[in-house]
């Protein structure tokens, strides 16, 4: 059984027991959260697609940790102008463990 959920403006395919990194959520480590933006649920041959979400479907997950991703370097450069700007960015994420998919 798997589901497709939406969180943080992105869509993810999840299954029970999977670890998933999503955009940072306001929850403490160890908290259980419910993701109710379920776009599709599939259980073998039975597939339910929402318009836009599946009614009554939820995905329950536990917050495992918060962290920062790898550094991305942003470099702006204009030739012959002596213009150079270098910046770094590390995106914050929340790691979730998928506990249950309720269809």
Cα gap 40→10, rounded to integer Å: 14
Mean pLDDT of the chain: 96
103 falls in which pLDDT band (50, 70, 90)?
A: confident
Residue range of the domain that includes 75: 2-102
- Residue 93: its pLDDT value, please? 98
6 contacts: CB under 8 Å, gap ≥ 6? 12, 37, 39
CA dist 27 and 94 (Å) reads 9
Residue-wise pLDDT for 16-54, tens only, equals 999 999 999 999 999 999 999 999 999 989 999 999 999
Q: How far apart are CA 58 and CA 102, in angstroms?
A: 5
Domain total in the chain? 1
Q: β-strands 32-35, 2-7: how paired?
A: unpaired
């Amino acid at each position: 059984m798997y589901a497709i959920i939406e969180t943080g403006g992105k869509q993810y395919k999840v299954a029970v027991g999977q670890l998933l990194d999503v955009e940072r959520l306001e929850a403490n480590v160890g908290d259980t959260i419910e993701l109710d933006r379920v776009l599709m649920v599939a259980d073998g041959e039975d597939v339910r697609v929402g318009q836009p979400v599946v009614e009554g479907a939820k995905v329950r997950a536990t917050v495992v940790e918060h962290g920062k991703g790898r550094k991305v370097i942003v470099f702006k450069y204009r030739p012959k102008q002596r213009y150079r700007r270098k910046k770094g960015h590390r995106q914050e994420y929340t790691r979730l463990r998928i506990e249950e998919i309720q269809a």
